[in-house]
Amino acid sequence: MSETTDDQLRAARELALGGLFGALGIALPLAFHAAQLGKMMLPMHFPILILGLLVRPAIAGTVGAIVPLLSALLTGMPPLAPPTAIMMCFELAALGATASVLASRLRWNPWAASVGAILVARTVLGLAVIAVGPLLGFRVSAFAYVAAAVVAGLPGIIIQLATIPLLITWLRRVGAVGTVRAR
Looking at residue 182, its pLDDT comes to 44
How confident is the model at residue 175, as a pLDDT? 84
The pLDDT of residue 183: 45
> Does a structural domain hold residue 179?
no
Where residue 39 sits, what CATH number does that domain have? Answer: 1.10.1760.20
- On whether residue 183 sits in a domain, the answer given is no
- pTM attached to this predicted model: 0.94
Is residue 146, in this structure, part of any structural domain at all? yes
Q: Which of 103, 117, 119, 111 is nearest to 167 (CA)?
A: 111
Contact between 50 and 43 under an 8 Å Cβ cutoff? The reply is: no
41 occurs within a structural domain: yes
| Confidence at residue 2, expressed as pLDDT on a 0 to 100 scale | 66
Q: What is the DSSP letter of 106?
A: T
Question: How many domains is the chain built from?
Answer: 1
For 21-70, the DSSP string reads HHHHHHHHHHHHHHTT-HHHH-TTHHHHHHHHHHS-HHHHHHHHHHHHHH
Q: pLDDT value at position 17?
A: 96
DSSP classification of residue 156: H
Provide the residue-wise pLDDT of the chain in tens; the chain has 183 residues: 567 798 999 999 999 999 999 999 999 999 999 998 988 999 999 999 999 999 999 999 999 999 999 999 999 999 999 999 999 999 999 999 999 999 999 977 999 999 999 999 999 999 999 999 999 999 999 999 999 999 999 999 999 999 999 999 999 899 888 655 544
Give CA–CA dist 7/154, Å, rounded. Answer: 38
Residues of the domain holding 148: 3-173
In a domain, 164, yes or no: yes
In a domain, 12, yes or no: yes
Residue 137: inside a domain:
yes
In a domain, 180, yes or no: no
CB distance 120 to 103 below 8 Å: no
Instruction: Give the pLDDT confidence score for residue 109 in this predicted structure.
Output: 92
